Amino acid sequence: MRIDRLPAMMLAALLPCFVAAQQDTQKEIERYRQLLQDGNPSELFEARGAEHWKAKRGPKNTSLEQCDLGLGAGVVKGAYVRLPRYFADSDKVEDLESRLVTCMVALQGLTPEEAKRRPYSGPGQPSMMADLVAWIASESRGMKIAPPQSHPKERLAYQTGEKIFFYRAGTHDFACATCHGEDNKRIRLQDLPNLTNAGDAQRAFGSWPAYRVSQGEVRSMQWRLYDCFRQQRFPEMQFTSDASVALTMFLAKRAEGGTFDAPAIKR
Amino acid sequence: MADPMRIRANMTGDKVEVKVLMAHEMETGLRKDAKGNLVPPHFIRNVTVTHGGKTVLSAQWGTSISKNPFMHFRFKGGKPGEKVTISWIDNKGDKRTDEATIAGGS
Amino acid sequence: MDSKRREVLKTGGGVLALAAVAGILKPGEGLAQEWNKAAFDTKSVADTVKALGGSGSTPSGAIEITAPDIAENGAVVPIAVESKLPRTQAIAILIEKNPNTLSAEFEIPAGTDPFVSTRVKMAETSNVYALVTADGKYFHAVKEIKVTIGGCGG
Amino acid sequence: MNFDIIAPAALCAAMLSACATPISDAEAERAAVGMLKASFKPQGQAGVDRLNQDEVQALCSRYPNGLPKDLAEKLEKTQLATIRYPASGKLMGDWREGERIAQSGVGKQFNDDPKGPSGGNCYACHRLSPRELSFGTIGPSLYQFGKQRGTGDAVQRYAYGKIYNSEAFSACSNMPRFGHNGILTEEQIAHLVALLLDPDSPVNK
């Protein structure tokens, strides 16, 4: 059996030819990602989300089926790729999560705090919000990303979102742009999308929400931003906060015209 | 109760190709929670796949099968429209059985 | 032992199907519950082979492991095993450096391809063994899979 | 990246009718700061004061495509003046400790233990020891950094200073100011200098 270790030792001896080794590493990581595509556990979350949408809940004992995600009451198909957007009833620009909170409050009679109680799932603790987001996003699969920019508040969200993207702060001087402002960079072995570049932004925005195999959970765009800010050494981003929605608008707009292909499966 | 499995059973040539995703934490017993306490092991131990009353695959698993397990295999003798039934049971006795109809092939 | 166990499972499956038709059983009841605790407690490849009933195993080129050389994350490592050995009865996946070596054992009845694909957790870079029982004998293939540190680091 | 700043304007040209930029750039900056402060809450060791920018952060945010030359030179000069070398004069520690610090990405996040030491997370952005396959490319490869430069005083002072305050050598660098911002201690920085320069360090093998 010991013979089987030889190839690894030979590989180690060859490492100084690091260009070749690096390409091999990248190729194998790519192969790893390919091998995962076969079965995406996000389906399990999406199935729960579809049930939550129909389930009666809250003091008003009502489902979310009449929730207007921007394309009319109850229209889910294609809603995700046209968010964030301005809603007259709340007089705000909302992304999917903030819109769901608005609907849970208006239709089901929950308080905003109740609606935001468990925005992200954890081991053994599923999140109704995360499941809903997984399902609603899946109903836009294959469609073009097209966030509206016709209302002044939508344009304002884009403009402030852009400023937030470049905002350096905290102990490490990090901004979103620190890791996502240049082409062809990676952190450890993970490719970093340049979110100021349309192609990268389309692929990145079009792949969230995603099932993260490192966590065994489906993560939403809100979570993605929350955890990026954590690692930027910022304080805690509040769920569905204005800054998070504005930044999402900036990213969605940068990704405009891309094909939405989420929930994806990722490291 | 555990969430339903997602099962795909498709004809490929004369074989039935089965792919299944199961919703399960697959706790190893080695992970610590936020308070630093060990989370007890909780994992699927047995999986059985049957078709037409015959077992076409049976498995025993340990704690190192990934969370939300995925399994893929092929067997002969199935036809479109017939059922494939998959059951699992975990170390706490929780269990789940789901079935899928074999779809026409590619 | 293997053939006897398959017999039991076969019968079990038949009973289950009939019972389900008759509406007697709730889902999941009647499921075979045999679980080889001794094998899953083993801490080395040699001990696992013994616990699974072999006295040793022979390397074989007729077993193919499909897995990445490098895993981007150890929590999910895709592994497929295909055996071209005649009368393959079982396929087991062993991860040498995991806290417990044995990850899974699949019983392959006649009529089922000697192929199985799943995803395993790997604590660190390790050799992964595919242990195949064929015609009552034990064979294996091995592949090293490197587990990398990923992401932003915190 | 120029493209980004132009894009909204180009969009306006394309959609003549309904597309006036709602507010000026300076107003957008103020709006963003106000929005940020209302959108975050203190957690663990990270208070909302972390959102307040110092001069470097404010300038570099305002010029995402790079500072004008005069501003860059001025900034580098003021940052150079912040560098404090250890009183002991010892700039090179133990490369083995340095490797551990380079591998660790913890520290200063709101969920990190404020009492525990921070890491440098060098591998997130740089290639160092060839044994580590998982390295990033945001920064340049530092493989054989010392082999190419030796271990002279000037090289030691440069390496120490660069880790202490990267902005002193390259305005608006993406690299954190590890010493200046209190992420790493003097001793930790010296260990990293050893990782880079020590002939026995795997970086120089």
Q: How far is CA C144 from CA A12, A21, C97, D153, in A?
A: 13, 16, 11, 44
Question: pLDDT tens, A234-262?
Answer: 999 999 999 999 999 999 999 999 999 99
Work out the angle at residue D140's Cα, subtended by the Cα atoms of residues D136 and D145, and round it to the nearest 5 degrees: 115
Q: List chain D domain ranges.
A: 1-29, 40-205
CATH fold, domain D40-205, is Cytochrome Bc1 Complex; Chain D, domain 2 (1.10.760)
Which chain B residues are closer than 8 Å to A214 by Cβ? none
Length, in residues, of chain C: 154
- Asked if A37 is an interface residue toward chain C (Cβ–Cβ < 8 A), one would say no
C148–chain D nearest CA distance, Å: 6
Exposure of A63 by Cβ count < 10 A (0-12 exposed, 13-18 middle, 19+ buried)? middle
- Region of poorest pLDDT, from B24-28, B67-71, C17-21: C17-21
Residue A191 carries which side chain, given as an amino acid letter? D
- CATH number attached to the domain at A42-266: 1.10.760.10
Residues of chain D with pLDDT under 50: 1-18
Distance CA D64, CA A163 (A): 10
Question: pLDDT tens, A174-231?
Answer: 999 999 999 999 999 999 999 999 999 999 999 999 999 999 999 999 999 999 999 9
Distance CA B65, CA B59 (A): 12
**What DSSP assignment string belongs to B46-81?**
EEEEEETTEEEEEEEE-TTBPSS-EEEEEEES--TT
Chains that touch B (3 or more CB pairs under 8 A): A, C
Q: List chain C domain ranges.
A: 1-34, 36-147
Distance CA D40, CA A228 (A): 13
Tell me how crowded residue D53 is: count the other CB atoms within 10 A of its CB: 18
- Asked if A233 is an interface residue toward chain D (Cβ–Cβ < 8 A), one would say yes
Q: Which two tokens stand for residue D105?
A: 């990405």
Question: pLDDT tens, C100-139?
Answer: 999 999 999 999 999 999 999 999 999 999 999 999 999 9
The label of the residue with tokens 């801490």 reads C43
Question: pLDDT tens, C43-90?
Answer: 999 999 999 999 999 999 999 999 999 999 999 999 999 999 999 999
C8–chain A nearest CA distance, Å: 31
CB distance A81 to A260 below 8 Å: yes
More confident residue, C34 or C40: C40
Mutation choice for B interface testing from A44, A51, A121, A215 by most B CBs within 10 A: A44
**pLDDT at residue C28 tops 80:** no
- CATH number attached to the domain at C36-147: 2.60.40.2470
Q: Which two tokens stand for residue D71?
A: 């501003």
Percent above pLDDT 70 for chain D = 90
Taking residues A59-77, what's their average pLDDT?
Answer: 98
Question: pLDDT tens, A19-47?
Answer: 566 778 889 999 999 999 989 999 999 99
Q: How far is CA A171 from CA A174, C111, C151, in A?
A: 8, 62, 19
pLDDT at A2: 36
**pLDDT at residue C32 tops 80:** no
Mutation choice for A interface testing from D137, D147, D164, D180 by most A CBs within 10 A: D137
**pTM to 2 decimal places:** 0.89
Distance CA D195, CA D163 (A): 12
More confident residue, C33 or A97: A97
CB distance C65 to C79 below 8 Å: yes
Which chain C residues are closer than 8 Å to D121 by Cβ? 152-154
C154 pLDDT band, cuts 50/70/90, is low
Taking residues B79-98, what's their average pLDDT?
Answer: 97
The edge-to-edge listing of strands for the beta sheet with C115-120 is B6-12, B15-21, B70-76, C115-120, C77-83, C63-66
C143–chain D nearest CA distance, Å: 18
* Interacting residues of D92 by C-beta distance below 8 A, sequence separation 6+: D151, D156, D190, D193, D194, D197, D198
B14-53: buried (b, 16+ CB within 10 Å) or exposed (e) per residue? ebbbbbbbbbbbbbbeeeeeeeeeeeebbbbbbbbbbbee
pLDDT at D22: 73
Are D133 and C146 a contacting pair at CB < 8 A?
yes
Residue of D nearest to C152 (CA): D124
pLDDT at D110: 97
Q: Which two tokens stand for residue D186?
A: 């003097």
C150–chain D nearest CA distance, Å: 7
pLDDT at D21: 64
**pLDDT at residue C17 tops 90:** no
- Complex ipTM value: 0.87
C27 pLDDT band, cuts 50/70/90, is very low
Taking residues B21-36, what's their average pLDDT?
Answer: 94
Residue of A nearest to B42 (CA): A124
Mean pLDDT for all residues in chain A? 92
Chain A to chain D Cβ contacts (< 8 Å): 164
Peptide bond preceding A59 in cis form (omega within 30 of 0)? no
pLDDT at A229: 98
CB distance D92 to D194 below 8 Å: yes
pLDDT at D18: 43
CB distance A61 to A104 below 8 Å: no
Which domains occur in chain B, in start order? 6-101 (2.60.40.10)
Chains that touch A (3 or more CB pairs under 8 A): B, C, D
